[in-house]
């Protein structure tokens, strides 16, 4: 097993953990929000992240590694903050959408870090997968911005 293979699977596992965190965050947001359109948006994004996770797991296995299970401590803290903020804010939908925006911007940055890392030449399958997922996250960010403007 090469150092490259281990490092690449570590990067993909980090991305997988963030994907788990996003999936859980979207599920929790969908349970709390009352607006049916935003609720459906959160439910769709939770399912999307579940699918992203499956794709990332397959890619990690292609490197001969085992995918991580569960989410990260940072993600748990992020979701707990989101719970607290939604509880105290008058307009909880707006607060949740702002938090989605923050999380999606962070996710895009993580994808970009991997895609633009000059130490690694990504195999075409990995690069294509990561670009597809990153672009879908950009669309989520744009839709969250739209919803936020509508509810504020």
CATH code for position 9? 1.20.1260.10
Give the domain extent around 125.
Answer: 3-151
Are 68 and 17 in contact by the 8 Å Cβ rule? The answer is yes
| Per-residue pLDDT at 76 | 59
The CA angle 40-26-63, to the nearest 5 degrees, is: 120
| Per-residue pLDDT at 88 | 41
Number of domains in the chain: 1
The band of 96, judged by pLDDT with boundaries at 50, 70 and 90, is confident
Q: What is the mean pLDDT of residues 11-18?
A: 89
Q: What is the mean pLDDT of residues 100-114?
A: 91
Q: Model-level pTM?
A: 0.84
Our separate counts of H helices and E strands in the chain read 5, 0
Per-residue pLDDT for 69 more than 60?
Answer: yes
The band of 64, judged by pLDDT with boundaries at 50, 70 and 90, is confident
For residue 67, give the 3-state DSSP assignment.
coil
User: How long, in residues, is the chain?
Assistant: 152
User: What percentage of the chain has pLDDT greater than the value 90?
Assistant: 42
| Long-range CB contacts (within 8 A, 24+) of 36-45 | 37/147, 38/93, 38/96, 38/97, 38/147, 38/151, 41/143, 41/144, 41/147, 42/96, 45/100, 45/140
């Amino acid at each position: 097993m090469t150092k490259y293979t281990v490092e690449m699977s570590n990067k993909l596992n980090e991305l997988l953990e963030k994907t788990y965190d996003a999936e859980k965050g979207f599920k929790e947001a969908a349970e709390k929000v009352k607006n049916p359109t935003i609720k459906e948006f959160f439910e769709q994004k939770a399912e999307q992240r579940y699918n992203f996770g499956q794709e990332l797991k397959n890619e990690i296995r292609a490197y001969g590694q085992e995918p991580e299970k569960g989410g990260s401590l940072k993600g748990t803290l992020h979701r707990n903050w989101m719970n607290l903020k939604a509880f105290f804010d008058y307009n909880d939908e707006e607060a949740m959408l702002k938090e989605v925006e923050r999380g999606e911007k962070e996710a895009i940055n993580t994808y970009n870090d991997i895609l633009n890392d000059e130490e690694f030449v990504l195999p075409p399958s990995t690069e294509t997968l990561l670009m597809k997922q990153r672009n879908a996250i950009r669309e989520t960010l744009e839709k969250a911005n739209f919803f936020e403007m509508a509810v504020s």
